[in-house]
Amino acid sequence: MADNLVIVESPGKVKSIGKFLGKGYKVEASVGHVRDLPKSQMGVDIENNFEPKYITIRGKGDVISKLKKEAKTAKKVYLATDPDREGEAISWHLANLLNIDESQKCRVSFNEITQNAVKSAIKQPRKIDMDLVDAQQARRVLDRIVGYKISPLLWKKVKKGLSAGRVQSVATKMICDREEEIDSFVSQEYWSIISKLAKPKVNPSFEAKFHGTATEKLELNNEEQVNAILKEIENSQYVVQKVKEQEKKRAAAAPFITSTMQQEASRKLGFTTKRTMMVAQQLYEGIDIKGHGSVGLITYMRTDSTRISAEAQNEARDYVTKKYGEAYIPQTPRVYKNKSASQDAHEAIRPTYIDLTPEEVKDSLTAEQFKLYKLIWGRFIASQMSSAVYDTVSADISAGKYIFKANGSKVKFPGFMVLYIEGRDNEGKEEADEEENNLPELVQGDVLELKKNTPKQHFTQPPARYTEATLVRALEERGIGRPSTYAPTITTILSRGYVVKDKKLLLPTELGKIVNEIMKKHFVDIVDAEFTAQMENELDAVEDGQKPWKAVMNDFYSSFEGVLKQAEETIGDVEVPEEVSDVICEKCGRNMVVKHGRFGKFLACPGFPECRNTKTIVEEAGVLCPVCQGKVLFKKTKKGRKYIGCERNPECSFMSWEMPSGETCGVCGNFMLKKSSGKKAELKCSNEKCPSNSEDTAKKTK
């Protein structure tokens, strides 16, 4: 029998924390929430000042019985749930179930699962913070009222199974609004002139772009204007008029917060927000590392603060000094400024042990865990390194009365870039702008040789559709939601069929557009970004002890009640048009329609329930099977991983995780597969028996 009982949320933490505390402590898990609002009803007594009706979660009986039994025999119970609002609320529910007085100092919290952090927290227990609990209650009750009041209305007027929520409705509206911008966008023509120039007796040549005159920048709007300028300068000398050289610095990006980690994992690893948070949770809770036992590799992953501890900062600086030298650390440690809406409750996301490098722990991690840990580790270390330094040069070059501009840059000192470079949403590869662009040494008065003038026609592009990464960034910038809400919000709008993902792009469905129009017309505040952001500020005020949570609810409901009543009276029945396919149901002869299910789109007979025929949607890869010459199809596993396989499966067993490259094998004529690894890709024949697949003839491409 242990004198002390420590209750955590996740079973994944039990082993790590138990190891640190040793004898005298028993660690048990609540396995998440133990009490919540009932699913079958709203569970909020609006007439009784919004009093929530909590019930024990179904299936948690055995867990609660075990915790009660252990708590009775323990001299002291410590509630060590996650260090956020939700974790505080779980501790409060546990205290109620275990008959622990709220005034007792029973609550412990830590930002990282390390020996020092855990032992330090146990030595400094505190009371349950009811301001944090009330902020969580306010969010839960607010979302429950919105969902349970509006959703039945959508079921009645549109179709069953729909839902409406504060943050998900705003996110859906943002995606719909972007689609409307794209649809209404009118492309404008514009031109550029690129001159390929060279300094006599110096190679290679370089490019200069048309700017205008010495006094103004000129926009090139049509081909006639471009041709007139080209004719005017066809016999002109190209003379260097001005050369400006300077040194530029670029600082490293801040260590990760939840949103930036989700964005970077999407850009660099192709992870969804849900997948990123799942893997980060595993890294935080603890993983068995060879030679070290169970180790929590990163700090808490739900945070909006870039703050880091002085201890971690010094460890990073020591590591950089030993690995790269003194030149790679700045004179004073780097401190990053938080955004104004940041709660600063936790540190940034960082490795708990600097010396556990990604390569050292690689053999103990899954491929996903290694990729994300490497990203977090590299980002944090780089954030404490010196800035990169560039030598830049810009030159104004005249051709008659017109000016062309040439720009060049060269890395003088790589700084943090030796380790990590932040990705960008609008580039297909990392940091195209960091590639060196060398110009020859130019001085005022140099006469240059014209190799070629190239006019190019361009058209303005509509705004880009959101990806998960850019949607998270937009939500964060507008103050909508908090770190814990981004992933579930995106998961919800996808699962409800309001939005679909085409490659990485988020597109609204017809259903999403219909629901969004209803929400915009009848629930203006719910889909208003500013209103939603203000509600987040109200919840923050509750957390800070500045406002009672029931007062926040009363302010909201006093206006919401009237809006809801009016919507019930004015919304008519809405018919959602179905997407009809050209596939004929072989059972009844109707054209099958596209439906959205748990695992994506599928075909169903519109004659349901009389005809229950369904089919998967087949996407052809455009190549023939190297084994039987059947059609090769794109397929997905239940977890969403894409692969290709023969249409004649299971008779034909051909499948591959690699995708067709678009090239044909010069030896046997079958299609080639492309396997990417970093910036390189290996091409191999899809026919396993082809001689070209021998190691000495494998083709490498960049």
Q: What is the dihedral of CA 277, 253, 263, 674, to 10 degrees?
A: -100
- CA 671 to the chain's CA centroid: 34
Q: Return d(Cα 349, Cα 305) in angstroms, integer.
A: 9
Residue 436 backbone zone (phi > 0: left; psi -120 to 50: alpha; other: beta): beta
Q: Find, among 412, 353, 348, the residue nearest to 383 by Cα.
A: 348
From 238, 284, 300, 402, the catalytic residue: 300
650: cis peptide before it, omega within 30°?
Answer: yes
Q: Return d(Cα 12, Cα 17) in angstroms, integer.
A: 10
- CA 231 to the chain's CA centroid: 50
What is the phi/psi pair of residue 335, to 5°? Answer: -125, 130
Residue with tokens 């209750």: 7
Distances (CA, A) of 125 to 119, 298, 344, 417: 11, 23, 20, 42
Q: What is the dihedral of CA 695, 699, 700, 702, to 10 degrees?
A: -170
Q: Find, among 144, 218, 236, 606, the residue nearest to 449 by Cα.
A: 236
Count of all residues that appear for the chain in the document: 702
What is the phi/psi pair of residue 250, to 5°? Answer: -130, 120
CA torsion sign for 168, 174, 180, 182 is negative
Identify the three-state secondary structure at position 529.
helix
Query: Strand pairing partners for 208?
Result: 195
Query: Could you tell me which residues come within 8 angstroms of residue 308 by beta carbon, excluding any fewer than 6 positions away?
Result: 255, 347, 348, 350, 380
| Catalytic (active site) residue 373 | no
| Structure tokens belonging to residue 14 | 């039990």
Residue with tokens 């970077």: 264
HSE-up (13 A, CA, CB side) for residue 606: 14
Query: Could you tell me which residues come within 8 angstroms of residue 689 by beta carbon, excluding any fewer than 6 positions away?
Result: none
Query: Could you tell me which residues come within 8 angstroms of residue 695 by beta carbon, excluding any fewer than 6 positions away?
Result: none
Catalytic residue ranges: 300
